[in-house]
Amino acid sequence: MEDTVVTREGLARLRDELERLTTVERRGIAERLRQAAANEANRAENGDYVDAREQQALLEHRIALLEERLRSARLVEPQPGNGRVDVGERVHVRDLTTGDRLGLELELVGRLEVDPDAGRISVHSPLGKAIVGLRRGQVVDVDTPLGRRRFKVLEVEPPPQAA
Evaluate whether residue 83 is within a structural domain: no
CA distances from 45 to 2, 49, 83, 88, 119 (A): 42, 8, 63, 50, 46
68/104 same-domain check: no
What would the pLDDT profile of 126-148 be if each residue is shown by its tens digit? 999 999 999 999 999 999 888 99
CA angle 14, 3, 6 (to 5 degrees): 40
Instruction: Give the total number of structural domains in the chain.
Output: 2
What confidence tens digit (pLDDT) does each residue in 100-119 have?
777 889 999 988 888 999 99
CATH number where 123 lies: 3.10.50.30
SS3 label, residue 75? strand
Q: Give domain status of residue 14, yes or no.
A: yes
Do 55 and 96 sit in the same domain of this protein? no
The kind and range of the H/E element at 109 are strand 104-109
Domain of residue 24, residue span: 4-75
DSSP string computed for 40-61: -S-GGG-HHHHHHHHHHHHHHH
pLDDT at 162: 41
102/68 same-domain check: no
- Check: pTM over 0.85? Answer yes or no: no
Kindly give the parts of the chain with pLDDT less than 50: 1-2, 162-163
Distance (Å, rounded) from C-alpha 48 to C-alpha 114? 34
Domain boundary among 75, 102, 124: 75
pLDDT of residue 103: 81
Residue finishing a domain among 21, 40, 75: 75
Residue 130 forms part of a structural domain: yes
CATH number, domain with residue 13: 1.10.287.180
On whether residue 153 sits in a domain, the answer given is yes
User: Do 98 and 68 fall within a single domain?
Assistant: no
In this structure, are 11 and 56 located in the same domain?
yes
**Considering 27, 47, 75, which residue would you say is the last residue of a domain?**
75
